[in-house]
A and B are shown apart, each in its own frame.
Chain A
Amino acid sequence: MLRKEIRDALKRFVESMVVLAVIPFMYIGDKLVIKVGLDYASLIDTGFFLTLVIFSIYAGATIFQPERKDRAFEYLFSLPLTRRKIILAKILPRFGLLLILGLAATIVVGRSLLADAGITILVLFFSSLFLSIGVFSTAINIFGVILMYLIFFQGGRTFVYLLSRLGGSFAGHFGPLVSQLVSAAVLLVPFGMAFWLTFKKMDARPLKLQMRTYYFITLPVLFVIVSLITLSFRSSQAWLLSR
């Protein structure tokens, strides 16, 4: 199982690398035709960042693609594999390749993209992964990931603001990091729980008949978070600007 999943993850990895492959052509194109004066180092920097973003979404969103495309859920569930084994075999290679890509980016770019945008990358990866079971196309998944990211982004700000209203604060260097982590956890933990509970009970029935638990957990959570963000949006923005 693991070998098959590694092969599958590598395929997605190579497909995501297209962005990096395009960079030299962009640079040459700029030198010869457009002549905007693109800086090669910043192109590489942006290229690696984009590849990380694309792979993190793509790897998560396509985790069940072989089963969906090949209609192989029935075969998968007939195998003597526990759900934990299946999910670990699917997540570990993708997560490992994401780390390898992050490290490669750090070596090539000369600064740690993972340190700068690690939480963002993790949020994108796990959002697309947790959405992959509840939505029925990769396109909708990507749209969902963008929405999740916006909620995560604004959620962090809202959280800091609400905390200040309660008299607390995240002071010091790690303040923004902690608020991002809290925002990611508030969003991803319920989605992760919904994902796992749904997958654990899943069988060969049509997927849309098995999503009750998933939506039962995720929709109220989304409603509460989005309501909080919306209700405090103006005041939190004003508070942030005043600082």
Chain B
Amino acid sequence: MIEIRGVSFSYGKTGVFRDFSLSIPEGQVCLVTGINGVGKSTLLRLMAGVLRPDKGKIRYDPKLGADPRRKIGFVSDALSLYESLTIAEAIGFHKSVYGLSSFDDSLVQHTKIGCRQKVRELSIGQRTIFHLNLILSLEPAVLLVDEIIHSIDAYLRKVFLEQIVQLLSKRRLTVVMVNVNFHDIEHLIERVILLKSGEIAVDENIEDLKSKVKKIVARNRPDSLNVLSQIDYSEHSEFFVYPFDNRLRGTIEGDIFDLNLTEIVSAFIGGEYA
């Protein structure tokens, strides 16, 4: 469990969060999304303990021990590692810090990374896979993954996601992902949090969210509903509405469509840019 209570955070004079609270129960797979610069990566960094809140507290499940970072696997968009170390040295360093007796390099084996290669010589994709392998070797209880997984190719992304699924089937792993493209992770996600101006704009279970966000194709704007965003065509318009109440189905003029997660998030984000 991760409990964020009354957290305020800023980069100098630029405020990001003010009195922000969020609770993520153990074993939940959570997606944090929102427009660029809204604080998604900052939220992940705060949870990982690499940023310290100016105010407020972040509490972790006592089961994670005195230093929860031992059980938190964090891959940031900065892919921060000691670049001047070789792969072998970086693995050795990681093992010694976390007190690991062995290192499962199965993810790295799928790539063409050599032990004597320096971390700085890796491509972004290779580096992402290497970083993911480092954190998966910890057998983390909490996995925090920034949207950097987009930088890996389709094959490695599939391999990584398979590993996550395996981990999820083995134990109650809490996962928080920051993402804007979800076609291959949608089946994993249980909860969606949409950030807006440093606050939670939407916090829904994925099934509830899918039932509440609909696309209505009609000539006229449905005035009785809250339209997030719209796309106009010559003959008709597409209106993305939230929250949609199923009881209104018969009263709405136009066709009503279900949306997948990518479309739902696009509708919210599109509304913010409109």
Contact = CB atoms under 8 A, between A and B. Distances in A.
The answer to whether A binds B is: yes
Interface of A: 1, 3-4, 66, 69-75, 77-82, 201, 203-206, 209
B82 A70 contact: yes
Interface of B: 11-12, 45, 48-52, 67, 69-70, 72, 74, 76, 78, 80-85, 89, 92-93, 96-98, 119-120
B49 A77 contact: yes
A69 B50 CA distance: 18
Contacts of A75: 80-82
A74 B93 contact: no
A69 B76 CA distance: 18
B51 A79 contact: no
Contacts of A66: 82, 84
Nearest to A71: B80
Contact of A79 (B78, B83, B97, B119): B97
A70 B120 CA distance: 8
A40 B86 CA distance: 41
Nearest to B45: A204
Given A74-B50, A205-B11, A79 B81 contact: no
B50 A77 contact: yes
B96 A204 contact: no
Given A1-B96, A74-B78, A80-B67, 10 more contacts: A4-B85, A70-B120, A72-B81, A74-B45, A75-B82, A78-B48, A78-B74, A80-B98, A205-B11, A209-B11
A186 B80 CA distance: 38
Contacts of A1: 93, 96-97
Contact of B78 (A71, A201, A203): A71
A82 B75 CA distance: 20
A133 B22 CA distance: 34
Contacts of B92: 3
B93 A4 contact: yes
Nearest to A65: B84
B84 A204 contact: no
Nearest to B78: A74
23 contacts: A3-B93, A4-B82, A4-B93, A69-B83, A70-B119, A72-B80, A72-B81, A72-B82, A74-B78, A75-B81, A75-B82, A77-B50, A78-B48, A78-B49, A78-B72, A78-B74, A80-B70, A80-B98, A203-B50, A203-B52, A204-B50, A204-B80, A205-B51
A4 B85 CA distance: 9
